[in-house]
């Protein structure tokens, strides 16, 4: 506990707040003493991305805390010794080494064991496959990966074409980076076109694999409506070619029957990490001039990357819907760009994924089950900083950009996205811990921690989109991807800078409007 | 009439086009496509016509409009194309006022309606609303015959202590005779916004009457001894003007003034900035980076920010310091109009209503002689006089509506419609450069006023989120002018590119919702009344029953339309504590506090034993 700490506002030069800093096992809490209202700022240790001690000033020792949810807190602590202690404690607390130290294992929401289990069962991927009509004549759910024999980063149950027998699956897995064979991600029921995902083939300069070729053939033939299928490599062509030297690479169109191969050119995790870094630097400049802001935004390239991801999603959706062709998507390992693109395409094609439940299913399916390495990408544990990358953040931003274009098609609002984004980093719930299903089982996540989804559903009222027109109002979405359509997301990157936002919140207003309406309707019916 | 003309879409990558027929009428260019959809383009809206090199499919003709519509026709025969081109060139450039559309436009109104329409906006009434004339300010008849200043209106408000010789003297010391007059009076603070043109000070000239004039203005404000003089130009420009015998006020010569430059660029910079912006937004197949760097190098948003910043400065001087402000630029009809009108808009909620906004435009733009005719190129004239000054004003207002979605009675469509008619020359309001010119040309008898037409369509322009209730309490709007808050106004610059807009319009939906709420409320009131009546007839014992079943209703009625119970702008101290920061799904603060208070004053040792701090 340190008293007489000042919290500076990032943008205004107003008088700094004066208060007390508390350090608990899980949170850093700042209580503002100067205001009439008790104002608290809570910072979860897991949210802390970096702590920085700035040079001593006359007012005291400044301490700058950067959070993963883009909160930046600037404290000034009276005594240097205190500051140093806070600094070292935070450094230790914010980077746990063992997974058992994560908040999720100590978090106790006073919930019975049964409820916890029900919570984990809330999202069942089998039900989603059923919804798509699987199993059917062409596709089956297999337990080929029961003991993680085929691929240890895939879930035990995967969907493959009926025509692909076990030997094909095993053979194909040997020819794919980390054994991530082509599996079904989404089946568009209306024309049997499917979106499948995998990792890059180990083709090098000339290697080929008969089973893998059979596998692709099986996928293509599972869609009788189209004589060909697309194979989409989401990497820039140069990167894919460079991978050939390492014995990896991309599919050779001559070896596979009737495939159409296409590069899309989304940059890799390192480029994305740097881009976000640059974007945040722009956000952090104190009152940048208009030119600085626009140049900074341009230089960061962030919106360009968002557009690339969106374009890829749109390409997939169009191939499936308009050309009735199945698509196989991969990048390098098939867990970053592939997850982004597949989940976006699902969102564009299927109104179910635009509901609360559906969005949870989508994240569980494309991200969690298929092994997006949340733990590494979000830096949950002290690890390689080069593995950190805002891949999931980009997906969330793409969804937000879609919301701007289609304000009536999503059941949830911006706050829902922000809440999910918060919890991906908070480690408060088990869903996003670890890197794949196997690891989560090893960590006993399902017994020891809670699932996030029931908690979000409880707060449904707050996350509703008042303009939602219902499930059946819109089917496939065709977003516009001209540069004009992409906006800087102030609500995300400057969320905690209160002064930055429109002074009046339309969302609150509309929400209250809707609840008012419901109340009135109740009253009316009661009176009648 | 030319058949088989193709209309190309500006942005779609597929080269799909509509085929149809092009008609040329006296006032409009009309294109009807095969599915009978009509595209009307007013000749006055045409800013430029361009013939592109012949292609295999025909002769392309690109028409750029002042309302930022761009149409791309392909005419099969070159001769036809050339004919259209020539006629459009002629038709779009008018040499005389009486050839303008307004003089032929006939909305089937009778003469008395026409007169009434012109009387709809009464500026004398408006000054009365502000509380003028009063003990300190009076109506001056000095300019009754436009003898002192030709570009000012006849009726001007000046401080009571400014006598006629002072006015005359001051006007001789001001460029174009535009001496300081009242633009807006803030009743509560007794502070005034005044406007004028630059002084003819050169390097050292001074004028006693002008000094008296400024003193009179500052004395007319009993609550503050000093006044601000805002020169909205960049300092460099103002200094350069000194060489031409103009310039700015010398702080030493005027007692108790605080002089301030604001740095809004001149009309030429603005014109080329818009030009660049349009080039960027018109590029086909633009990348995100090109768009952002183009937006930046156009400088357009920077200029919008500068205008709003200036208005904010003005407003703060009045609301916070209760000081009067005198605003000028060079001639006091471009930047001065922008800043004065935006300032008033921020200060006074009346201007945020539909009627009030009309009054504001009539007052600060039309009557004070913003040169609409020159700036919008209504007549064939000097292209260097054209500048999007009024467009910038509308864009600034739009930016405010984005920040304060509940503060304005009107919506974006209203702003766009006004912008449309500033250029359309369909109504008399914006024709000409000043009141004198309008009177000489007898606009009021020969043309119609725009405002009654807008009021008739009021429903279309209403903002469903408007909440008139917080305005009186919190009159002042304090917008945030950090760069992040300025957005490219897509609906203005791409108004006619259908494919560019969000696919779903929220406005209608919200409108319906609020309508439904009102309807429901009405229903409930009726039902309640019915129940009461029925209860009155039945006996007292029975009466209790239905009343019990209906308690939520009166409660709901006490918090009537949701528009009214919105919280005010600033967070109010009604909640005990506010929490921000990381996720705190359950309020375990008290637990922590207990834990911490127990440990005091000794060392706080924590679970992991890492954090040890002395109190």
Instruction: For chain B, give every domain's residue range.
Output: 2-93, 123-498
Nearest Cα neighbor of A326 from A165, A186, A199, A133 is: A186
The model's pLDDT over A456-499, given as tens digits with 9 standing for 90+, comes to 999 998 898 888 888 888 889 999 888 888 989 988 888 877 66
pLDDT given for residue B35 in this prediction: 79
Chain B, window 404-423: residues with a beta carbon less than 8 angstroms from a chain A beta carbon: 404-407
Q: Is A499's Cβ below 8 Å from some Cβ in B? A: yes
Is-contact A321 A329, C-beta < 8 A?
Answer: no
What the block records as the tokens of B57 is: 């499919």
Instruction: Note whether B502 contacts A407, CB cutoff 8 Å.
Output: yes
Residue with tokens 């008739």: B456
- A335 assigned binding-site residue: yes
- Answer with the residue of higher pLDDT: B55 or B331: B331
Q: Which of A198, A331, A342, A398 is catalytic?
A: A331
Task: Confirm whether residue B425 is marked as ligand binding.
Answer: no
Find where tokens 């406007």 sit.
B195
Give the pLDDT band (50/70/90) at residue B130. very high
A82 with A196, same domain? no
B329 is catalytic: yes
Are the C-beta atoms of A74 and A57 separated by less than 8 Å? Answer: no
A469 and A446: one domain? yes
Answer whether A524 sits within 8 Å of B612, measured CB to CB: no
Chain B interface, best mutation among A25, A282, A298, A520, by max B CB count within 10 A: A520
- Among candidates B478, B494, B566 on the partner chain, residue whose Cβ is nearest the Cβ of A484: B494
Chain A: give the shortest CA distance to residue B137, in Å. Answer: 35
Q: Which residue ranges of chain A lie beneath pLDDT 50?
A: 13
The number of distinct structural domains making up chain A is 3
Sign of the CA dihedral running A168, A169, A171, A173: positive
Q: Tens digit of pLDDT for each residue in B548-575? A: 333 333 333 333 333 333 333 333 333 3
Establish whether B539 is an annotated binding residue.
no
Residues A88, A104, single domain; the answer is no
What's the whole-number mean pLDDT along residues B264-268?
Answer: 95
Residues whose CB falls within 8 Å of the CB of residue B493, separated by 6 or more in sequence, listed in order: B68, B277, B278, B281
List, as ranges, residues 272-291 from B with C-beta within 8 Å of A: 281, 286-291
Residues 45-64 of A with CB under 8 A from B: 47
Does A2 contact B at CB distance below 8 Å?
Answer: yes
| CB spacing of B405 vs A506 below 8 angstroms | yes
Closest Cα of chain A to B223: distance in Å? 26
A405 touches chain B (CB under 8 A): yes
Q: Does A467 share its domain with A385?
A: yes
Is A499 in contact with B480 (Cβ distance < 8 A)? yes
- Residue B333's pLDDT band (cuts 50, 70, 90): very high
Tokens representing B372 are 């609409």
| Distances A105 to A93, A99, A438, B124 between C-alpha atoms, Å | 15, 9, 18, 73
List of chain A residues whose C-beta atoms are within 8 Å of the C-beta of residue B612: 85, 89
CA angle B224, B230, B234 (to 5 degrees): 155
What integer is the mean pLDDT of B428-454? 92
Confidence grade of residue B471 (pLDDT, cut at 50, 70, 90): low
Selected for mutation to probe chain A from B611, B614, B615 (highest A CB count within 10 Å) is: B611
Q: Which residues of A touch B477 (CB under 8 A)?
A: 503
State which residue of chain A sits closest to B506, comparing Cα positions: A407
Number of H helices and number of E strands within chain A? 21, 14
Q: Which residues contact B143 (CB under 8 A, 6 or more apart)?
A: B149, B152, B153, B154, B155, B156
Question: Is A298 an 8 Å CB contact of chain B?
Answer: yes
Asked whether residue A513 is domain-assigned, the answer is no
Alpha-carbon distance B399 to nearest alpha carbon in chain A (angstroms): 10
Domain extent at residue A63: 2-95
Per-residue pLDDT tens over the stretch B22-39 = 888 888 888 888 778 888
A294: contact with B, CB 8 A cutoff: yes
List CB contacts (< 8 A) between B504 and chain A.
405-409
* pLDDT, tens digit, 9 for 90 and up, residues A496-517: 776 656 656 677 777 777 777 7
Determine the pLDDT at residue B544: 38
Same domain, A326 and A448: no
Residue A398 burial class via C-beta count within 10 angstroms: exposed 0-12, middle 13-18, buried 19 and up = buried
Is B136 part of any known ligand binding site?
A: no
Using a CB-CB cut-off of 8 Å, the residues of chain B touching A419 are: 583
* Same domain membership, residue A343 and residue A211: yes
State whether residue A484 sits within 8 Å of chain B by CB.
Answer: yes
- Number of other residues whose CB lies within 10 A of the CB of residue B272: 14
CATH of the domain at A72: 2.30.29.30
State what percent of residues in chain B have pLDDT above 90.
Answer: 48
Q: Is residue A31 part of a domain?
A: yes
Q: Which residues contact B470 (CB under 8 A, 6 or more apart)?
A: B406, B407, B566, B568, B569
Would you mind telling me the total number of residues written for chain B in this entry?
Answer: 615
The one-character DSSP state at B151 is T
Q: Do A380 and A239 share a domain, yes or no?
A: no
**A-B contacts (CB, under 8 Å):** 264
CB contact under 8 A, A502 and B595: no
Which of B226, B247, B225, B152 shows the shortest CA–CA distance to B195? Answer: B152
A522 occurs within a structural domain: no
CATH number at residue A325: 3.90.190
Q: Is B549 on the interface with A (CB under 8 A)?
A: yes
Q: DSSP alpha helices (H): ranges in B56-197?
A: 78-92, 101-104, 111-119, 123-130, 164-172
Whether pLDDT at B539 is above 50: no
SS3 category, A491: helix
**B7 close contact with A: CB closer than 8 A:** no
Note which residues in 75-94 of chain A have CB less than 8 A from chain B.
82, 85-86, 89, 92-93
Q: What is the pLDDT of residue B52?
A: 86
Q: Which helix (H) or strand (E) holds A7?
A: strand A2-8
Which of A287, A406, A467 lies closest to B509 in CB terms? A467
Q: Which of B147, B29, B37 is nearest to B87 (CA)?
A: B29
Of A307, A408, A466, the CB nearest to B504: A408
Find out whether B330 is annotated in a ligand binding site.
Answer: yes
d(CA B519, CA B607): 58
Same domain, A141 and A117: no
Domain B2-93, CATH class in plain words: mainly beta
Same domain, A199 and A222: yes
Q: Do B556 and A297 touch (CB under 8 A)?
A: no
Q: How much is the pTM?
A: 0.88
Q: Are residues A115 and A14 in the same domain?
A: no
3-state secondary structure of B59: strand
Asked, for residue A515, whether it belongs to a domain, the answer is: no
The Cα of A302 is separated from the nearest Cα of chain B by a number of Å equal to 9
For residue A119, list chain B residues with Cβ-Cβ distance below 8 A: none
Q: Do B404 and A485 touch (CB under 8 A)?
A: no
The answer for B 583-612 residues in CB contact with A (under 8 A) is 583-586, 589, 592, 595-596, 600, 604, 606-608, 610-612
Q: Residue B480: closest CA among chain A residues belongs to which residue?
A: A500
The verdict on B379 touching A (C-beta cutoff 8 Å) is no
Catalytic residue, from B59, B65, B194, B329: name it.
Answer: B329
What does the alpha-carbon distance between residue A365 and residue A186 come to, in Å, rounded to a whole number? Answer: 10
Nearest-neighbour CA in chain A from B596: distance (Å) = 8
How many CA within 13 A on the CB side of residue B147? 10
- Chain A CB within 8 Å of residue B525 CB: no
CA distance A349 to chain B (A): 16
The reply to whether B488 touches chain A by the CB within 8 Å rule is yes
From the list B513, B576, B592, the residue facing A22 with the nearest CB is B592
Tokens for A151?
């691929």
Q: Do B596 and A510 touch (CB under 8 A)?
A: no
Of the pLDDT bands very low, low, confident and very high (cuts 50, 70, 90), residue B606 is very low
* Same domain membership, residue A52 and residue A157: no
Question: What is the bridge-based pairing of β-strands A259-263 and A229-233?
Answer: parallel
Predicted complex: ipTM over 0.95: no
Q: Which bin fits A421, alpha (ψ -120 to 50), beta or left (φ > 0)?
A: alpha
> Is the Cβ pair B580, A41 closer than 8 Å?
yes
Subunit contact A29:B613, Cβ cutoff 8 A = no
Chain A residue numbers with beta carbons less than 8 Å from the beta carbon of B307 are: none
């Amino acid at each position: 506990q340190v008293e007489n700490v000042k919290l500076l506002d990032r943008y205004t030069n107003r008088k700094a707040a004066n208060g007390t800093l508390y350090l608990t096992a899980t949170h850093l809490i700042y209580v503002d003493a100067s205001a009439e209202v008790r104002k608290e700022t809570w910072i979860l240790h897991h949210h802390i991305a970096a702590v920085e001690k700035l040079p001593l000033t006359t007012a005291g020792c400044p301490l700058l805390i950067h959070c993963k949810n883009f909160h930046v807190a600037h404290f000034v602590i009276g005594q240097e010794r205190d500051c140093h202690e806070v600094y070292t404690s935070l450094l230790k607390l914010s980077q746990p080494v063992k997974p058992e130290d994560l908040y999720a294992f100590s978090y106790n929401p006073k919930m019975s064991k049964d409820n916890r289990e029900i919570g984990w069962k809330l999202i069942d991927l089998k039900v989603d496959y059923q919804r798509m009509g699987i199993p059917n004549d062409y596709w089956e759910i297999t337990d080929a990966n029961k003991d993680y024999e085929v691929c240890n980063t895939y879930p035990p149950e995967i969907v493959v074409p009926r025509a692909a027998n076990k030997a094909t699956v095993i053979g194909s897995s040997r020819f794919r980076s980390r054994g991530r064979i082509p599996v079904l991600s989404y089946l568009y029921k209306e024309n049997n076109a499917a979106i499948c995902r995998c990792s890059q083939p180990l083709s090098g300069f000339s290697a080929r694999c008969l089973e893998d070729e059979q596998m692709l053939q099986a996928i293509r033939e599972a869609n009788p409506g189209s004589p060909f299928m697309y194979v989409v490599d989401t990497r820039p062509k140069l990167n894919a070619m460079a991978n050939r030297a390492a014995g990896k690479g991309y599919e050779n169109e001559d070896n596979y029957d009737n495939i159409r191969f296409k590069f899309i050119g989304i940059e890799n995790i390192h480029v994305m990490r740097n881009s976000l870094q640059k974007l945040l630097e722009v956000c952090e400049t104190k009152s940048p001039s208009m030119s600085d802001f626009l140049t900074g935004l341009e230089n960061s390239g962030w919106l360009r990357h968002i557009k690339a991801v969106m374009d890829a999603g749109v390409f997939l959706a169009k191939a499936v819907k308009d050309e009735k062709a199945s698509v196989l998507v991969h990048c390098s390992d098939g867990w970053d760009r592939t997850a982004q693109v597949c989940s976006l395409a699902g969102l564009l094609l299927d109104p179910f994924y635009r509901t609360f439940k559906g969005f949870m299913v989508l994240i569980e399916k494309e991200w969690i089950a298929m092994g997006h390495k949340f733990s590494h990408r979000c830096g949950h544990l002290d690890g390689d900083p080069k593995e950190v990358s805002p891949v999931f953040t980009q997906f969330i931003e793409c969804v937000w950009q879609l919301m701007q274009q289609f304000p009536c098609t999503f059941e949830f609002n911006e706050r829902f996205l922000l809440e999910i984004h918060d919890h991906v980093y908070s480690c408060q719930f088990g869903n996003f811990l670890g890197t794949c299903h196997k690891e989560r089982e090893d960590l006993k996540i399902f017994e020891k921690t809670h699932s996030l989804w029931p908690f979000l559903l409880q707060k449904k009222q707050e996350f509703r989109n008042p303009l939602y027109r219902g499930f059946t109002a819109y089917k496939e979405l065709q977003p516009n991807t001209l540069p004009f359509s992409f906006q800087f997301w102030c609500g995300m990157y400057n969320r905690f800078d209160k002064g930055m936002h429109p002074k009046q919140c339309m969302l609150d207003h509309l929400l209250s409007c809707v609840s008012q309406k419901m109340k009135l309707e109740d009253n009316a019916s009661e009176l009648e | 009439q030319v058949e088989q003309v193709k209309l190309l879409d500006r942005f779609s990558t597929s080269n799909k086009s509509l085929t149809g027929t092009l008609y040329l009428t006296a006032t409009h260019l009309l294109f009807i496509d095969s599915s009978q959809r009509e595209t009307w383009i007013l000749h006055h809206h045409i800013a430029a016509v361009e013939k592109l090199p012949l292609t295999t499919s025909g002769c392309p003709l690109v028409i750029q409009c002042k309302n930022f519509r761009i149409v791309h026709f392909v005419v099969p025969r070159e001769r036809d194309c050339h004919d259209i081109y020539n006629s459009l060139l002629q038709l779009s450039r008018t040499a005389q006022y009486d050839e303008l559309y307004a003089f032929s436009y006939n909305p089937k109104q009778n003469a008395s309606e026409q007169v009434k329409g012109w009387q709809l906006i009464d500026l004398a009434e408006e000054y009365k609303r502000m509380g003028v004339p009063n003990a300190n300010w009076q109506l001056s008849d000095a300019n009754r015959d436009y003898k002192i200043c030709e570009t000012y209106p006849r009726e001007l408000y000046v401080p009571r202590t400014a006598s006629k010789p002072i006015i005359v003297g001051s006007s001789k010391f001001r460029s174009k005779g535009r001496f300081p007059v009242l633009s807006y009076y803030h009743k509560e603070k007794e502070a005034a916004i005044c406007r004028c043109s630059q002084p003819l000070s050169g390097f050292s000239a001074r004028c006693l009457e002008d000094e008296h004039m400024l003193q009179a203005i500052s004395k007319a404000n009993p609550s503050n001894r000093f006044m601000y003089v805002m020169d909205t130009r960049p300092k460099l420009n103002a200094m350069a003007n000194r060489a031409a015998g103009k310039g700015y006020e010398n702080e030493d010569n005027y007692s108790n003034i605080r002089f301030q430059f604001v740095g809004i660029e001149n009309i030429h910079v603005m014109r080329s900035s818009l030009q660049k912006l349009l080039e960027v937004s018109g590029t086909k197949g633009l990348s995100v980076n090109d768009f952002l760097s183009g937006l930046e190098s156009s400088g357009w948003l920077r200029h919008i920010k500068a205008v709003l910043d200036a208005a904010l400065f003005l407003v703060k001087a009045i609301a916070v310091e209760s000081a009067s402000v005198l605003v000028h630029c060079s001639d006091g009809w471009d930047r001065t109009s922008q800043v004065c009108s935006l300032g008033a808009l921020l200060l006074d909620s009346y201007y945020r209503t539909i009627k009030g906004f009309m009054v504001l435009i009539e007052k600060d733009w039309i009557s004070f002689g913003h040169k609409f005719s020159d700036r919008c190129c209504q007549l064939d004239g000097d292209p260097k006089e054209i500048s999007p000054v009024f467009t910038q004003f509308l864009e600034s207002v739009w930016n405010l509506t984005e920040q304060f979605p509940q503060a304005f009675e009107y919506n974006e469509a209203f702003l766009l419609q006004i912008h449309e008619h500033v250029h359309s020359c369909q109504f008399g309001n914006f024709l000409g450069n000043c009141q004198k010119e309008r009177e000489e040309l007898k606009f009021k008898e020969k043309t119609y006023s725009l405002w009654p037409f807008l009021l008739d369509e009021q429903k279309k322009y209403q903002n469903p989120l408007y909440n008139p209730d917080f305005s009186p309490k919190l009159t002042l709007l304090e917008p945030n002018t950090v760069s992040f808050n300025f957005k490219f106004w897509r609906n203005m610059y791409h108004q006619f590119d259908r494919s560019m807009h969000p696919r779903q319009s929220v406005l209608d939906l919200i409108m319906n919702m609020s309508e439904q709420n009102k309807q429901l409320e009405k229903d409930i009131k009726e039902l309640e009344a019915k129940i009461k009546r029925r209860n009155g007839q039945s006996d007292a014992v029975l009466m209790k029953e239905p009343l019990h079943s209906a308690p939520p209703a009166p409660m709901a009625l006490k918090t009537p339309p949701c528009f009214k119970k919105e919280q005010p702008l600033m967070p109010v101290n009604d909640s005990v504590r506010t929490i921000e920061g990381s996720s705190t799904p359950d309020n375990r603060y008290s637990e922590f506090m207990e834990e911490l208070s127990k440990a005091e004053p000794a060392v706080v040792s924590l679970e992991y034993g890492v954090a040890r701090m002395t109190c």
